[in-house]
């Protein structure tokens, strides 16, 4: 595991509430007995226009141009922002494995589902809870500034952007 | 002595160590299935660790198993490897497993209670979010990730922080045809899918006391869909008479001792919960989800929402996205929604009582012409056997249902049972997420009798209107 200390990256706006673990990594990929290799299938049903199965040649698949991670500059994003209750649904650790394997290091949202939240910390992925107002402000800033970046500092429980210096609460349990 | 909630009693009796609000908790029962365990066993092997208490484990393959002729084996080679990996791991580490062709095989959350492996007062974990089901027995049961599965295998302990406590009190009597599934969906409709996040829910009240163990399991199963990692019901005579005489449950003197302890497993009269939610059982109508989250639910008398009436832009977008995915117009009466497939099964609703309830609706009738497939998938081999003894299989088959072998089946469509893009299903399962039952599939969550009735009429109907 690559422990999270500090990270700066482009933030991809996934403007949805209740992003569930079936959307994060669909069930057909859970048949793997490995911990790695889930990144190419992160959000598979949203990212691609065809149906994905394990072992497919990804270069032959048609990407969905409407999906945020297929749009410039978000293909280079390493932080994800979404709405309430991110990671709801199953306990599959394949969800954080896929997010981390894809190249994300942190997720910003107003709330997370319990099991997903604790699974993230086992895999060096930092879920950051911010107020609805801060999340709204960040979404607006991202839409107004292409390639908007955020820096997250775990030990200080702090996020820094051009305009915002915000703190998030991280219980000692997760440090 | 300070009055305690059931959750506090269960949690505190399992503390091994505490440091600054972080607890090491002892785990009594560890249920294991093929999907979330291979990486945990691999971790043990890499680190040359053994299983701490192999007797605490009951393993079963359920997600990948075919529900058709088992003598043909598993045709999907990747699913086959996953099931064989569980077989090998159980053999290597000396664990009790009911393999695919064992008559006791079934969905992990059905077989635990069925075998008496789930007992009151236990801490129970499984790498599966629906582990909350077992809380119906006055146990502290919750889903965990694979890293935690490995940790419990190796140490028999889990690092936890305390949850907040929520009492969901349901008073009043349920009307005819209303079930635990309707209570669960009505609750989620009221508090939302994140309403229980950070909480352990205890279901209390007259209405809960009148539920059978099957009903209580359905309710606790769905606690996770309300965001709560654990749901529970206090022990009473209904609990104890269910638990007695099961293969793994205590016998003789041990049983008498256990019973005395089990009877203490309820919240004290003056116990304080962090939050209380009240529901009136007599006001609950048959529930049907219309969208892509269990909180997108209305009664059979209702209609799909109109996004125009929602002022919050984020919520409005959620409604629009869900209606588009579901292929539904705003303001559409629920009883006009036509169905393509019926699924009766899953860890939520595949027990004997659920099958009886559905069979009662379809007896002597035939599924509508527009129904392409109707599946009845018992929760376990023993549930299947019992249903066959009662002749329920013949009722399903005569109505046009397919009578299948036990497993998770089309709840999450990891095996061959799935919806095709655009197909609409009345399902007794627990999640209506996009793609859950197959990419592009559209799921409406309902009770077994509502699913059965939708099968007969080809669209949703009010179960109360049927004699």
pLDDT by residue (tens digit) across B311-362?
Answer: 999 899 999 999 999 999 999 999 999 999 999 999 999 999 999 999 999 9
Contact residues on chain B for A122, CB-CB shorter than 8 A? 145, 147-148
Is the pLDDT reported for residue A60 higher than 70? Answer: yes
What is the residue-wise DSSP string for B46-97?
Answer: HTT---S-GGGEEE---SS--SS-GGG---SHHHHHHHHHHHHHHHHHT-EE
Nearest CA in chain B to A20: B433
Point out the residue among A15, A27, A93 whose CB comes nearest to the CB of B412.
A27
Contact residues on chain A for B146, CB-CB shorter than 8 A? 35, 93
Distances (CA, A) of A74 to A146, A169, B324: 9, 27, 25
Q: For position A170, what pLDDT does the model report?
A: 78
Contact residues on chain B for A96, CB-CB shorter than 8 A? 145
**CB contact (8 A) between residue A17 and residue B315:** yes
Is the pLDDT reported for residue A174 higher than 80? Answer: no
Point out the residue among A17, A28, A91 whose CB comes nearest to the CB of B143.
A91
**CB contact (8 A) between residue A115 and residue B143:** yes
Mean pLDDT within A70-95:
97
Q: For position B282, what pLDDT does the model report?
A: 98
B435 sits in the region (left: phi over 0; alpha: psi -120 to 50; else beta) called left
Is the pLDDT reported for residue A40 higher than 90? Answer: yes
What is the residue-wise DSSP string for chain A?
Answer: ----SEEEEEEEE---SS-BHHHHS-GGGGG-SSSS--GGGTTHHHHBSSPP-TT--GGGSPB-TTSGGGSTTGGG--EEE--SSBTBS---THHHHHHHHHT--EEEES-B-HHHHHHHHTTT-EEEE--HHHHHHHHHHHHHSTT-EEEEETTTTEEE-SS-EEE----GGG-
Q: Determine the Cα–Cα distance for residues B24 and B196; give it in Å rounded to an integer.
A: 23
The model's pLDDT over B137-159, given as tens digits with 9 standing for 90+, comes to 999 999 999 999 999 999 999 99
pTM of the model: 0.97
Rounded to a whole number of angstroms, the distance from the CA of A35 to the nearest CA of chain B is 6
Nearest CA in chain B to A136: B314
Q: In which residue ranges of chain B is pLDDT below 50?
A: none
Q: For position B75, what pLDDT does the model report?
A: 96
Contact residues on chain A for B145, CB-CB shorter than 8 A? 91-93, 96, 115, 118-119, 122
Point out the residue among A22, A96, A173 whose CB comes nearest to the CB of B435.
A22
Q: For position A169, what pLDDT does the model report?
A: 79
Identify the band that residue A168 occupies on the pLDDT scale cut at 50, 70 and 90.
confident
Q: For position B467, what pLDDT does the model report?
A: 67
Rounded to a whole number of angstroms, the distance from the CA of A148 to the nearest CA of chain B is 21
Identify the band that residue A172 occupies on the pLDDT scale cut at 50, 70 and 90.
confident
Nearest CA in chain B to A22: B436
**CB contact (8 A) between residue A111 and residue B194:** yes
């Amino acid at each position: 595991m690559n422990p999270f200390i500090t990270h700066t990256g482009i933030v991809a706006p996934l403007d949805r509430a209740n992003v569930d673990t079936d959307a994060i990594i669909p069930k057909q990929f859970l048949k793997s007995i490995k911990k790695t290799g889930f990144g190419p299938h992160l959000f598979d049903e949203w990212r691609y226009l065809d149906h994905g199965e394990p072992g497919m040649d990804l270069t032959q698949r048609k990407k969905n141009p409407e999906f945020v991670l297929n749009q410039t500059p978000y293909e280079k994003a390493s932080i994800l922002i979404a709405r309430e209750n991110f990671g709801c649904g199953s306990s599959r650790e394949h969800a954080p494995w896929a997010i981390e394997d894809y190249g994300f290091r942190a997720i910003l949202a107003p709330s997370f589902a319990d099991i997903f939240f604790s699974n993230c910390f086992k895999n060096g992925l930092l879920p950051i809870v911010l107020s609805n107002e801060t999340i709204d402000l960040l979404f607006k800033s991202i839409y107004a500034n292409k390639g908007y970046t955020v820096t997250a500092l775990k030990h200080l429980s702090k996020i820094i952007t051009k305009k915002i210096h915000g703190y998030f609460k991280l219980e000692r349990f997760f440090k | 002595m300070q009055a305690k909630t059931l959750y506090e009693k269960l949690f505190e009796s399992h503390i091994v160590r505490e440091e600054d609000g972080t607890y090491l908790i002892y785990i009594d029962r560890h249920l294991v299935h093929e999907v979330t365990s291979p990486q945990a066993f691999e971790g043990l092997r890499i680190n040359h660790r053994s299983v701490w208490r192999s007797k605490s484990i009951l393993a079963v393959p359920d997600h990948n198993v075919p529900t058709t002729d088992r003598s043909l084996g598993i045709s999907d080679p990747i699913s086959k490897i996953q099931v064989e990996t569980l077989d090998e791991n159980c053999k290597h580490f000396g664990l009790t497993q009911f393999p695919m062709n064992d008559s006791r095989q079934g969905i992990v959350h059905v077989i635990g209670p069925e075998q008496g492996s789930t007992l009151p007062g236990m801490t129970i974990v499984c790498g599966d979010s629906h582990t909350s089901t077992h809380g119906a027995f006055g146990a502290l049961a919750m889903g965990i990730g694979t890293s935690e599965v490995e940790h419990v295998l190796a140490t028999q302990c889990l690092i936890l922080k305390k949850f907040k406590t929520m009492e969901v009190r349901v008073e009043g009597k349920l009307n005819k045809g209303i079930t635990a599934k309707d209570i669960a969906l009505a609750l989620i409709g009221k508090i939302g899918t994140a309403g229980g996040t950070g909480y352990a829910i205890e279901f209390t009240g007259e209405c809960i006391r009148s539920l059978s163990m099957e009903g209580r399991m359905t309710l606790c199963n769905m606690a996770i869909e309300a965001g709560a990692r654990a749901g529970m019901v206090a022990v009473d005579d209904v609990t104890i008479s269910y638990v007695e005489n099961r293969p793994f449950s205590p016998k003789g003197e041990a049983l008498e001792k256990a019973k005395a302890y089990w009877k203490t497993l309820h919240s004290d009269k003056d116990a304080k919960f962090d939050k209380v939610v009240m529901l009136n059982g007599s006001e609950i109508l048959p529930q049907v989800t219309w969208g892509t989250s269990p909180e997108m639910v209305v009664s059979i008398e209702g209609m799909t929402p109109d996004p125009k009436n929602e002022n919050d832009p984020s919520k409005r977008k959620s409604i629009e996205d869900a209606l588009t995915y579901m292929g539904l117009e705003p303001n559409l009466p629920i009883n006009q929604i036509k169905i393509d497939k019926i699924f009766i099964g899953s860890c939520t609703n595949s027990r004997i009582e659920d099958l009886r309830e559905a069979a009662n609706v379809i007896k002597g009738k035939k599924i509508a012409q527009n129904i392409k497939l109707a599946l009845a998938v018992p929760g376990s081999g023993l549930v299947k056997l019992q249903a066959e003894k009662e002749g329920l299989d013949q009722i399903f088959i005569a109505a046009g249902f397919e009578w299948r072998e036990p497993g998770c089946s089309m709840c999450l469509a990891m095996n061959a049972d799935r919806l095709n893009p655009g197909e609409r299903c009345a399902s007794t399962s627990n999640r209506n997420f996009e793609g859950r039952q197959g990419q592009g599939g559209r799921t409406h969550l309902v009770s077994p009798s509502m699913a059965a009735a939708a099968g007969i009429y080809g669209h949703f109907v009010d179960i109360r209107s049927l004699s």
